[in-house]
Each structure stands twice: as structure tokens, then as C-alpha cells.
Structure 1
């Protein structure tokens, strides 16, 4: 329990109040919180709103040029559609726990909201949820892999600093889903799709000098064999792209098997602009160990500042 929470509980005089509130139904807890926020806002004046804006990092607008930002979104989504990747216009809200439920993100790093939602913090999680819903309802099948993409403005609660970092920023994400068919054939197909997209977009359209760092992760029984197979896929798909390896933090639980980092070289400086890897999110949602899922994405604001 944090020092701040301890102080609050001591001030209230009821150390069990959190557990008591959690014993309420979700609907009742939501009604209670709605009333608390209503009473809090009843005393807020327009001048208070301005003061909050001036002191709160979340509502501050980005430095990115909006016309260039939306043009980049259009370019990315059009490129995705041209590669038969389905595009989705996401809601700015996601189900509460849409990141933390998978065990890889602390809920404190997400802006939680009411009515069973949170502010969208990662479109890749949301795309995976959408795909899982379609698979469960049998409106889609991933015997032939499914590929989805989206752009979104997201909010992260942790504090960032430095050029290109904002409390809210734009992301382009791709999520691919397929069924394990043996010999890592499904993973090969999914990874190839993502690599070809980035190759065509940045090398052929931007003439950018790219490089990739492949990082080993746990999650596969034959970790070495899987890593070697994915290395081969990258070298075959992008034969002229420099590839290096990082074996640190193998036990990182976010990605399964491998995690790749995308870098662009500009003015002699090597800048990370995207990453991706395999995750077990759809497996967890559907309870099917045959499910395979690859995610990747790039930061739009940082890309515009290059």
C-alpha cells in the first residue's frame, strides 16, 4: 500500500474503506463515484477550469502540426488498406483493465475512468480485444490470418520528459491473429506481413535507412529455435536492413519469444520509432493455446519531429 493511500485512509479514519467499496457491485460503485465527481464539479468555477488546464499536463495540446499529423494517419491507413489490412476507427475509451488484465501494464499508468472504462492507452490491446470478440462470436475466422490496423490518440499516466514525449500522443498499430499450424509457420506469416508493411512504407516511400534490433523473450518452450526461426524471417524479408541482437531481460513478460525494435537513422542519429512482438492476449481471452498474435506500432508524434 502506498504512502499516499495510507495517509488518505488515516485521514478518513477507516482503513477498511477500500475493501468495503470493492464489495459493492460494479454498478453501485460506479453510481457512487459519479455522485462524488458531480459534487466535486458543483464547486468548480470557469476560473478553476483555467487553473487546472494551466497546471495539468494531460489536456495540454501537442506541438505536432495537426494537418501533417492527420495526413500521416491517412497515409498509414491507406497503405494498410492497400495491403489488405483491415482498418478500424477506435473509440477514445477502452474497457477498464484492457491493458493491466493481461499482466503486463500497471493500472496506475493508465487513466482510469467511470462506467467500466479507461482512456485508451494502447490501440494494439483494443484491436486484439476486437479480434477476440469476432473470433468468439464466429463472425471472423483466423484460419487464414487476420490483420487489423488503427491510428489513435492515446493517453499515458506515467510522466515522460524530453523531445518527442507527451502525456498524449498518436500511435499507428497493427495486430495480426492466426492459428498455430506447426513449425512456427503461422508466426512466420504474421511477422512477414508486418515487416513488408514497414519496408514498403519507410524504405520505399521515405527512402529511410532502417535498422532492427531483435530481442529475445521467454514464452516459447524451444526459445532458441523460435528465436533462430524469426531471425531467419527478418533476414530473408529485409536482406539489406542491418540486424543486431539483444539478449538482455529475456524474462520480460510483455512479449512472447521475440520483440523487435525499429530504428531510423537521420543526420547521423539513430532514433527508435517503433517496435513489435508476439503476445498471448487473444490466447488469454479465448482460452485457446493455439492462438497466435503479433502486434507492432510506431509513434506518430515522434516520427513527425524527426
Structure 2
């Protein structure tokens, strides 16, 4: 237990407070939180709300032109529609644990809320949840590739440093799934679809070439062979695209087999605009190891910097 929690328990003189509260069912737990927030806000005032606005980094407005940002989102979603990708409009909140339960982030880096939800911090998780739900409800033909995309703002608890760093920012992402066909044919098809979309975006909108950095990850039984297969298909499909590799076989509890990063050059600087890779989220939710999932995303504000 951390020092802050120990101090709180000593102050309220209930040493088993967390052990008593955490086992409550969802409805009762939410009732406790609602009551606590009601009591807290009852003691607040308009001046205190203004003070919170000034001091809380999570509510600070962004500095980018909202018209340019919305125009970019419209262009991206128009491109996905033409590429056979289904666009989804997400809620600003997600099921509690939608990131941390999959081992992606610590729950402390997510804004947890009442009523069993959290503020959206990663749309790729939600799109994967939607795909898993549609698979189990037989709403998609899982023998073929299915692609969902969205643009949204997210809020994250990490404190970012540097210019144009905010607790909230815009993300575009694509999440795709299909059933394993053997010989990594499914993974090759998904990977080509994602990278072809980004290659088209960079050439069409910015009249430049993207650079790809591939990182080898564990997670596949023959992960070294898997990486070589993915690398080969990228070199075949994108012969004029610079591709570099990082062969350190890192297990980061996130990507499986391969992780790619996309860079675009501006002046003399290579700017990272996005990344992606394979994850096991859909296979876990559907309890089928044959269900593959590829996620990728771009930072909207990073694109506006180009």
C-alpha cells in the first residue's frame, strides 16, 4: 500500500476501509461514490470551480485550431469509408477497466468515474470490444476481414512534458479482425490494409513518403519466423518505403509479434505520427485463439504539425 493510502487510513481510523468497500456489488459501489461526490460538490462554490479550472491540467483547452482539427477528422473518416472501413462514433466514456484489464496501462493513468465507467483513454480498446461483441452476436462475417475506425479525443493521466503536450488529445485509429487462416495469411492481409491506408494518407495529403520502423515482439510461438514473414510482406508491398528493424524480442504486454511505428519527415526532423501492432484482446474476449486483431492509430495534433 502506498504512503498516501496509509495516511488516509490513519486519518479516518478505519484500517480495513478499502477491504470493506471494494467487494461491494456494482450498484452499491456506485451509490457510495455518488454520495461522496454529492457531499463534496455541496461544499463547493462558483469561485472554487473557477479555481479548479485554472489549476487542473485535465480541463485546460488545447491550442490547436478546432476547425483544422475537425477538417482533418472529416478527411480521415472519408478516406476510411472509401477503403472499406466502417466508421464508428464512440461515447466519451468506456467500461471501467477497458484498458487496464487487458494489461495496457495502470488504472491510475485512467480517469475512473462513477456508474462503472471511465473517461475514454484509448479508442482502440473500445473498437476491439465492439468487434468482439459483434463476433459473439454473429453480426459480422468473421471468415472475412472486418475493419472499424474512429476519431475521438482521449484523456490520459500521465503527465506529459514539452510544448503542445496536453492531458487530452485527438486520436484516429483502425482496429481490424479476422479468423486465422494459417501460414500467417490473416495477419499479412490485415497488416497490408492498415499500412496501405497510411501510405495513401501521407502521399495524398502531405505529398511525402512515410518511414516504417518495425520492432519484434514476443507473443507468438515462433515469433522470430512471424516477424520475418511480416517484414517480407512489407518490403514486397512497399518497395520504395524506408523500413528499419529493431530485433530486440521485447515482451511489453501490449503488442504481439510485431509493432510498427510510422514517421514522416518535416524539414530535417523525423516526426512520429502513429504506431500499431497485433494484440490478443479479441481472442481473450471471445475465448478463441484463432481470432486475430490488429490495431493502429495516429495522433491528430501530430498530423497538424506537419
Same fold (TM > 0.5): yes
Deviating 4+ runs (over 3 angstroms) = none
- Aligned: 1:242 with 2:237: no
How far apart in 2 are the matches of 1:247 and 1:19?
Answer: 44
- Aligned: 1:198 with 2:198: yes
Contact 2:283 2:290 in 1 (8 A): yes
- Aligned: 1:225 with 2:242: no
Contact 1:165 1:302 in 2 (8 A): no
Give CA deviations for 1:222-244 in whole Å, capped at 9, x if unaligned.
11110000001211221111111
**How many residues matched?**
306
Q: Unaligned 5+ residue runs, structure 1?
A: none
Partner of 1:259: 259
Contact 2:199 2:209 in 1 (8 A): no
- How many angstroms does 1:249 deviate by? 5.8
Partner of 2:49: 49
Q: For residues 249 and 181 of structure 1, do their structure 2 counterparts lie closer, same or farther at Cα, with a shift above 3 Å needed?
A: closer
Partner of 1:300: 300
How far apart in 1 are the matches of 2:248 and 2:118?
Answer: 32
- How many angstroms does 1:209 deviate by? 3.0
Give CA deviations for 1:130-174 in whole Å, capped at 9, x if unaligned.
111111111112210100100000000110011232100000000
Normalising by structure 2, we get a TM-score of 0.98
- How many angstroms does 1:184 deviate by? 0.1
Output aligned runs, 1:134-213, within 5 Å. Answer: 134-213=134-213
Q: For residues 249 and 10 of structure 1, do their structure 2 counterparts lie closer, same or farther at Cα, with a shift above 3 Å needed?
A: farther
How far apart in 2 are the matches of 1:81 and 1:278?
Answer: 22
Output aligned runs, 1:37-116, within 5 Å. Answer: 37-116=37-116
How far apart in 2 are the matches of 1:154 and 1:270?
Answer: 25
Q: Unaligned 5+ residue runs, structure 2?
A: none
How far apart in 1 are the matches of 2:192 and 2:218?
Answer: 21
